[in-house]
Structure 1
Amino acid sequence: MNFGNYNLNIPDRYDFHTWIWAITKCSGTCIRVSAIAQPVARAFKYSADAASVNGHYTMAVDTPDGLRCGNVYYGQTVATHDVYDWDATTLAGTLNSTFGVGCDGNSGTLSYPFTLTRL
């Protein structure tokens, strides 16, 4: 995977943010992902290492505002454990977002397809 900036596109996720991933090298075969929200309002900025196995990267992030309930701008947010998995060649992947108590009071996991586009 090339180092640089990428637009993270998650069209099915209920969120008003778009994200930019700044991808740099870390030790070994991993990459470092620094996520920047657009706009920065009510968003959790995160950084994590993504491990590479057979042309796929996997990265886990605990996000305090990963699930949005009700009004997307001002409603309740729920903490999630987000696992991103993507193909280094096609730049397409899946986000699995797991939460203990969701908007309806139940726990669960939501899956979203995503793509990365180099900026």
Structure 2
Amino acid sequence: MKLRTVATSLVLAAGTLLPAAPAQAAPFFANYSLNVEGRYDFHTWTWAVTYCIPAAPDCAHIKAIPMPIAKAFEYSGDARLTDGRYTLTVDVPDGLRCGNVYYGPIIPTRDVYEWDAETLRGTLTSSFAAGCDGAPGGALRYPFTLVRL
């Protein structure tokens, strides 16, 4: 009887000495309006957020849907969660629009979205090899928010 009591006490004591598992942001699987401030684009975007395949607690699959669909390309990718921040990197064929926003030339970009898992606010960094009208390559940064639909 005493041995069982001692063993139970040791197990309970060990549980109080072990560090708690690190807190992770709750998954945010749903549909969101992506609101990018200042980007030269006539589309609005919806992000459909689902589980990655295979499912992982630090991963959310993003499918971006443009509205209207005209002159835009859907993109998708896996956002990884590290230290309370998600990061999504995608190659977008029409990320930089030049001249007339509807009919002007488009330039492909590599877009990196980084956002806080709690506030759903972040920054989009859009990089391109060459700019509009022969300008050199570079990167543009835009703040954004995700609003649950």
TM-score range, shorter chain: over 0.9
Paired residue secondary structure (2:130) = coil
**Identical counterparts, % of pairs:** 60
- 1:113 aligned onto 2:143: yes
The match for 1:95 is: 124
Could you tell me which residue of structure 1 aligns to residue 68 of structure 2?
A: 39
Q: Deviations over 1:27-63 (max 9, x none)?
A: 2210000000010001010110000001100010001
Which amino acid in 2 is paired with 1:117? V
Using the alignment, how far apart are the partners of 2:67 and 2:142 within structure 1?
19
- Runs ≥4 in structure 1, deviation > 3 angstroms? none
After TM superposition, the score normalised by the length of structure 1 is 0.97
| Alpha-carbon offset, residue 25 of structure 1 | 1.2
Shift of residue 104, structure 1, vs aligned partner:
3.8
Looking at secondary structure, tell me which structure has more strand per residue: 1
Question: Partner residue of 2:105?
Answer: 76
Q: Which residue of 1 aligns with 2:82?
A: 53
> What secondary structure sits across from 1:50 in the alignment?
strand
Question: What does the per-residue CA deviation read over 1:12-38, in whole Å, with 9 as the maximum and x for residues that have no partner?
Answer: 000000000000111221000000001
2:56 pairs with 1:30: no
Q: What are the ranges of 5 or more consecutive residues in structure 1 without an aligned counterpart?
A: none
- Which protein has greater RCO, CA pairs closer than 8 Å, 6+ apart? 1
Larger Cα-atom Rg: 2
Structure 2 segments unaligned to the other structure (5+ residues): 1-26
Aligned match of 1:15: 41
Q: Could you tell me which amino acid in structure 2 is paired with residue 60 of structure 1?
A: T
- Within 2, Cα distance between the matches of 1:104 and 1:92? 32
- In 2, distance between residues paired with 1:70 and 1:92? 29
What residue is the counterpart of 2:29 in the other structure? Answer: 3
